[in-house]
Amino acid sequence: MSILKDLEFRGLLHQITDREGLDKKLSEERVVLYCGFDPTADSLHIGSLLPILTLRRFQLAGHIPLALVGGGTGLIGDPSGKANERTLNGPEVVEAWSQSIKNQLSRFLDFSTDIENSAELVNNYDWLGSLNVIEFLRDVGKNFTVNYMLAKDSVDSRITKGISFTEFSYMILQSYDFLKLNETKNCSVQIGGSDQWGNITAGLELIGKSTDSRAFGVTLPLVTKSDGQKFGKTEGGAIWLDANKTSPYQFYQFWLGTADNDVIRFLKYFTFESQEEIERLEAEVAAQPGKREAQKVLAREVTKLVHGGEALESALNITSALFSGDIQSLSRVEIEEAFKDVPSTTLEQDDVALIDLLISVGASPSKRQSRQDIESGAVTVNGVKVTDLEATTKQLGRLGDSYLIIRRGKKNYFLVKFE
Which residues participate in the annotated binding site for ATP? 233
Q: What's the Cα-to-Cα distance from 370 to each of 143, 331, 350, 377, 382, rounded to whole Å?
A: 74, 29, 20, 11, 17
- Find, among 337, 310, 342, the residue nearest to 321 by Cα: 337
Binding-site residues sit at 34, 170, 174, 233
Q: How far out from the chain centre does Cα 226 lie?
A: 19
Q: DSSP letter at 152?
A: S
> Partners of 213 in the beta sheet?
none
Cα(397)–Cα(392) distance, rounded to whole angstroms? 9
Binding-site residues for L-tyrosine sit at 34, 170, 174
Cα(241)–Cα(236) distance, rounded to whole angstroms? 15
* Interacting residues of 377 by C-beta distance below 8 A, sequence separation 6+: 385, 387
- Find, among 52, 75, 76, the residue nearest to 171 by Cα: 76
Instruction: Find the length of the chain.
Output: 419
* Interacting residues of 338 by C-beta distance below 8 A, sequence separation 6+: 249, 318, 321, 322, 327, 330
Q: Using alpha carbons only, how large is the chain's radius of gyration in Å? A: 26
Whether the CA torsion 51, 52, 54, 59 is positive or negative: it is positive
Cα(417)–Cα(419) distance, rounded to whole angstroms? 7
